[in-house]
Amino acid sequence: MQDFGNILNNQVLLVSLAASLIAQGLKIIIDLIQNGKINFRVLVETGGMPSSHSASVTTLATCVGQVQGWDSTEFAIATVFAIIVMYDAAGVRQAAGKQAKVLNQIVDEMFQEHPEFNEDRLKELLGHTPVQVIVGSILGVAIAILLGPAGLLL
């Protein structure tokens, strides 16, 4: 049980998780501005502005660099991890979403005359646009600079 208390003292972990929460909160605000109403569903949907995946992994990498040093193996690992996550968010999952859109269109056209076909549509919004990933990354670095171990606000 004492180890759990140590986890709660890990500022790098806490700030990285906070970055994800902040990005998710911003999604509600941005969606409110765009659509004129509060939509809490954006908290559990994939995609959206900004990318919380990008915010959390760039916060993690920046905080690790602050603590362990910019030339450390730990910073290198965190940075490569961040790049892979961001590439996946904008590349692989975005491509899967485009494929789902095409498949949904094919199913719509093929089964237009057979309404008894009632399979669920594939989810089309799976990933992030490159802009959403970049904004999430900038947000993540800013959060690490402000709230991280070498943060300006702490």
- The pLDDT value recorded for residue 8 is 85
pLDDT at 40 over 70: yes
Q: What is the pLDDT of residue 119?
A: 63
Residue 114: which residues within 8 A CB-CB, separation 6 or more? none
pLDDT digits (tens, 9 = 90+) for 90-135: 776 666 667 767 776 777 676 666 666 556 665 655 567 889 999 9
Ranges 58-62, 71-75, 106-110: which has the least confidence: 106-110
Largest CA distance in the chain: 64
pLDDT at 153: 74
Give percent of the chain above pLDDT 90: 50
CA 68 to chain centre: 24
Averaged pLDDT of the chain: 85
* Cα-based distances in Å from 112 to 102, 103, 122, 124: 15, 14, 17, 20
Domain boundaries, the chain: 2-147
